[in-house]
Amino acid sequence: MSNAYEAAIIGGGPAGLTAGIYLMRAGIETILLEKQIVGGAALNTEHIDNYPGFPDGISGSELTGRMAEQARKLGLVIKEFSRAEGVGYTDGFFETGVDKESYRSVGVIAAMGTEALKLGIPGEETLVGRGVSYCATCDGMFFRNLDVAVVGGGDSALSEALTLANIAAKVYVIHRRDQLRAQQILQARVSRHDKIELMLGKVPLRINGGNEVESIALRDTKTDGESELKVSGVFFYVGLRPETGFLGNLADRDDAGFIVTDENLRTKTPGLFAAGDVRRKSLRQISTAVGDGALAAVNLEKFVLEKR
């Protein structure tokens, strides 16, 4: 079965939703395909206070929920639980395959964002859902008044540690270096918080526990000594990876798999654009994803109008 549109957007985070809003306002027939529910990685953020227009902050689910509402009001067709599995390109048309269906379009915006990297230590995979998690906003409530560990030293680790500190009894932030990577404002908040303890220069070795997480084993980078930290939950934030393999040879990627575009967000295939975190870029924020979505949409609109 084939469904024909002028534009297909793959991914329903802030970049994809913004692109959808712009394309619908431009009168381009568009479908948005989202592998889960719309919102993207922002859904995992409890409190966003660097997105302009919200002086008291806003939750990721409310912000992206409003974006989706705006897009739907404009008539954007949003298909949730529709994971793109492949994109073909023949005779100037793209075919995006989703399960048993495929969607034909003149242009495509790849806005798939990223997924959490696994650390790959013993116990991590076997204890997922039994104390190991990659989403504090989703699973934090299971750790009320318990001790938890957050692994990582970037923005995700620190902002999620702050979220967990509202629920858990104690939050240990375990980072492999002596210096955190996260932005200063998050570092300042974490160091002021009396429920958060920084454990720097510690490398996670394994998660211990039978049916549930009981502790995390750590190696000290200075002494090489091993220690065990008793916790009921371990949240990993050790980086993000884009899932772009299904684009085949249609787009160039860097070594980490991020899509390489020009300044108009074009890839090497005419009509295929990339927007948001999935793109090679220097700043991954909701504000830059929104900017990308708008820019990709305007350039896709021009492309479609030339072909009409």
Q: What is the nearest approach in angstroms of ligand NAP to the Cβ of residue 40?
A: 12
> Of 103 and 237, which has the nearer Cβ to ligand NAP?
237
> Of 97 and 239, which has the nearer Cβ to ligand NAP?
239
Which residues have a Cβ under 8 Å from the Cβ of 135 and sit 6 or more positions away?
44, 116, 235
| CB contact at 8 A, 218 and 86 | no
The percent helix, strand, coil of the chain (3-state, each to 5) is 30, 30, 40
Q: What is the nearest approach in angstroms of ligand NAP to the Cβ of residue 272?
A: 24
How far, rounded to the nearest angstrom, does the alpha carbon of residue 40 sit from its chain's CA centroid? 6
> Of 40 and 107, which has the nearer Cβ to ligand NAP?
40
Q: Is the dihedral of CA 83, 137, 215, 186 positive or negative?
A: positive
Which positions are annotated as active-site residues?
135, 138-139
List residues near ligand NAP by CB under 6 A: 50, 119, 152-157, 159, 175-177, 181, 237-240, 284-285
Q: What is the nearest approach in angstroms of ligand NAP to the Cβ of residue 293?
A: 16
Q: What is the nearest approach in angstroms of ligand NAP to the Cβ of residue 155?
A: 4
> Of 72 and 284, which has the nearer Cβ to ligand NAP?
284
Residue nearest to ligand NAP (CB): 154
Which residues have a Cβ under 8 Å from the Cβ of 221 and sit 6 or more positions away?
176, 177, 201, 202, 203
Identify which of 147, 150, 234 has the alpha carbon closest to the alpha carbon of residue 199.
150
